[in-house]
Chain A
Amino acid sequence: MSDPALLATIALVAPAAAALLLALVPPLRHRGAPAAFVCIAGTLVSFGAAIGLLVGRAPGAEEVRVVVPWLQAGGRTIAEVGVLVDGISSVMLAVVTLVALCVQVFSVGYMHDETRRGYGRYFAYHALFLFSMNLLVVAPNLLQFFAGWELVGLASYLLIGFYFAKPSAARAAVKAFWMTKLADMGFLVALLVLFVTTGSFEWTAVPTTAVATAVTLLLFLGVMGKSAQFPLHVWLPDAMEGPTPVSALLHAATMVAAGVFLVVRAHPLFELAPTTGDVMLWVGAVTAAFAACLALVQTDIKKVLAYSTCSQLGYMVAALGAGSAFAGFFHLGTHAFFKALLFLAAGSVIHAVHSNDLADMGGLRRKIPLTAATFGIGALSLAGVPGLAGFFSKDLVLTQVEGRAGWIPWALLMASAFLTAFYMGRVFIKAFLGAPSAKAEHAHEPGLAMTGPLVLLAVPSVIAGLFGGTLAHFVGAEYHTHFGLTPILASAMALGGLAMAGLVFGRGREVALMRTLRSLDSGSVVDRSWEFLYRRVMLGVSGVLGWFDRYVIDGLMNLTGYATLESGSAVRTLQTGRVRDYALAVVVGAILLSLFGVLR
């Protein structure tokens, strides 16, 4: 086994071993603290391997692919498992393990008040998640990717429902599960179509254009579910019921980005299907604008970030739709850092004031200055202030969609950029500036376990953008910084949005638009239409099918049984049990037989 493959395998096996150990040795899990140790040790090993992979890999080097046969049938290998190490997967592996490491260390402080058992369970789920995520990142074919994809879905379900005694958390977990499963049906069918038409699950499979379009559209359905694209985004805001570090890791930085990663991975396939690209461009742009609008009116600090995640995923999807896998991937990377930072900082705020509500915050700048500073850095980066990480990747996305589909997606994304700066300004002002609320009076900075990851993540949130060229060189893509309409306009949008937020919210006012949006949000139109679909349409169809099954299919079965029973009980009266009746029957029978013989 060659060296990169070995490192990738270590990155894969370490969290798997941690998860298995925590699952199979209950005392370890029940004691709490050892579970955190095991989980973080696994992540650390995984992170080390990923860094080794990144450092040891020459830019533009050949991909390393080591596989073992998995499914064998009919004398041939249907699928393989193994690792695929190339520029994309090694970068992704490093990002995922770094964010996971920060989040897990942060969790040590954040989850401190949990019961010991809850604490252990939490870290066991985390180890499972990291293994699943790495499994899909290094997947050498679509089938292994799908296995990882479903496993992260499971980990997400378990972690959203971590506070399962709380009805809203349990409901959110189920909702997330079935919304993503609904979308995953697309993925599953895509796999089947691809296998039937090309006979393989490889990333490099080359079907005809029609098949490619069908497969990529179906895959994109799965992406829409996992990456929370409109109208399948409804599970993501509800997923904020989970612990905040979980939101940072799964529902902001890594898992939801798996959808984007899938498209980046399957780019050869998506390139064959321009129609899918157009669909993605529109879906991404609409999601970005729609979610940015909703982020504006949320009162829960985590929900603002959740909608913001939806919106940023929209950017990535739009970039992918415009045919630039690199722009999507770049934004994925920078977004992972600053969104994880924002969520962890929000976690620190929630930890300090014991509330998610923006109304309970305010004036936290003086109480928790480090959290305020790091949140500010994340917010500026997300808003796309020139020089920070978010600016470069967002600018690249905007440049890529320039002129596409009559400039409309471009305009939508540009407007979203303004809104992003505007709502991030709002959150920052409401939470950290102004007069402190009653709850904010007693806030204090958390311990090193929580502040350390914040500082650590703040660094790439600032500088990651500068490595765009290196990254492009590394994965073999083109990247040039340039000055033109888009970057200037994007900078103006970012700064304008922040300034506007300062003007409006700094003085405690609101925009008229927000009232409309708030009523739209409380009306939760999309949620309701899904509910309608579920309750009326799906349950209706199920009812009809159930009736058919119960009365027609089962009816035939029951009729057969009933007829047998009835004819049996009709015939049983012949069995009188009296010997003389039988004797008579024998005699009569003999007479009839002899008559038959004579008269024939």
Chain B
Amino acid sequence: MTLANCILLASLLFSIGVYGLLTRRQAVAMLLCVELMLNAANIVFVSFAHFRGGPGQIFAIFALAITVAEVAVGLALVLLLYRKHGDTAIDLASETKG
């Protein structure tokens, strides 16, 4: 296991997340993709901390905490979307059109 492999893994994970974020229509799926991207970042943090040292692991912990908060808000929004429209297709939420 080398640093390069770890970064490669993180890049792949991030790309999958971006791709999913841009292509999925369901709000839950988009949330999952955002989680993937965040975890890719976490992998980069811990890998660098492991191979090079430094405070990266602390940042990973912080990022996890933030993720939890984000998911809580995100799922609440999804729930509201479902209650209002009976579906979680993200395109239903377009009230902010200018």
Contact = CB atoms under 8 A, between A and B. Distances in A.
A579 interface: yes
A574 B91 contact: no
A580 B98 contact: no
A576 B22 contact: no
Given A572-B98, A576-B97, A577-B96, A587 B21 contact: yes
B12 interface: no
Contacts of A576: 94, 97-98
A587 B18 contact: yes
B90 interface: yes
Given A583-B21, A583-B30, A587-B22, A575 B96 contact: yes
Given A587-B18, A587-B21, A587-B22, A580 B96 contact: no
A578 interface: yes
Interface string B9-20: 000000000100
Interface in A560-587: 572-580, 583-584, 587
Contact of B90 (A573, A575, A579, A587): A579
Nearest to A576: B97
Greatest chain B CB density within 10 A among A574, A578, A579 is at A579
Contacts of A573: 98
Main secondary structure of the interface of A (DSSP, over half): helix
B90 A577 contact: no
Nearest to A580: B90
A576 to B, nearest CB: 6
B93 interface: yes
B22 A580 contact: yes
A580 B90 CA distance: 8
Interface residues of A, number: 12
A567 to B, nearest CB: 13
Interface string B77-91: 000000000000011
Nearest to A575: B98
A574 B90 contact: no
Contacts of B98: 572-577
Contacts of B91: 578-580
A580 B24 CA distance: 9
B22 A575 contact: no
Interface residues of B, number: 14
Contacts of A584: 22
Contacts of A583: 21-22, 30
A577 B21 contact: no
Contacts of A587: 18, 21-22
Given A572-B98, A574-B98, A579 B22 contact: no
A339 B96 CA distance: 83
A580 B25 CA distance: 8
A53 B50 CA distance: 111
Interface in B21-58: 21-22, 25, 27, 30
Contacts of B22: 580, 583-584, 587
A577 B93 CA distance: 7
A571 to B, nearest CB: 8
A574 B96 CA distance: 11
Greatest chain B CB density within 10 A among A573, A575, A577 is at A577
A51 to B, nearest CB: 84
A512 B77 CA distance: 104
A577 B94 contact: yes
A578 B94 contact: yes
Contacts of A579: 27, 30, 90-91, 93-94
Contacts of A577: 93-98
Nearest to B93: A579
A359 to B, nearest CB: 82
A580 B93 CA distance: 10
Contacts of A580: 22, 25, 90-91
Contacts of B27: 579
Greatest chain A CB density within 10 A among B91, B97, B98 is at B98
Interface in A325-364: none
Interface in A214-256: none
The list of the 9 closest CB pairs from A to B, nearest first, reads A577-B97, A575-B98, A572-B98, A577-B94, A577-B96, A579-B90, A583-B21, A578-B94, A587-B18
Given A579-B91, A579-B93, 11 more contacts: A573-B98, A577-B93, A577-B96, A577-B98, A579-B27, A579-B90, A579-B94, A580-B91, A583-B21, A583-B30, A587-B21
29 contacts: A572-B98, A573-B98, A575-B96, A575-B97, A576-B94, A576-B98, A577-B93, A577-B94, A577-B95, A577-B96, A577-B97, A577-B98, A578-B94, A578-B97, A579-B27, A579-B30, A579-B90, A579-B91, A579-B94, A580-B22, A580-B25, A580-B91, A583-B21, A583-B22, A583-B30, A584-B22, A587-B18, A587-B21, A587-B22
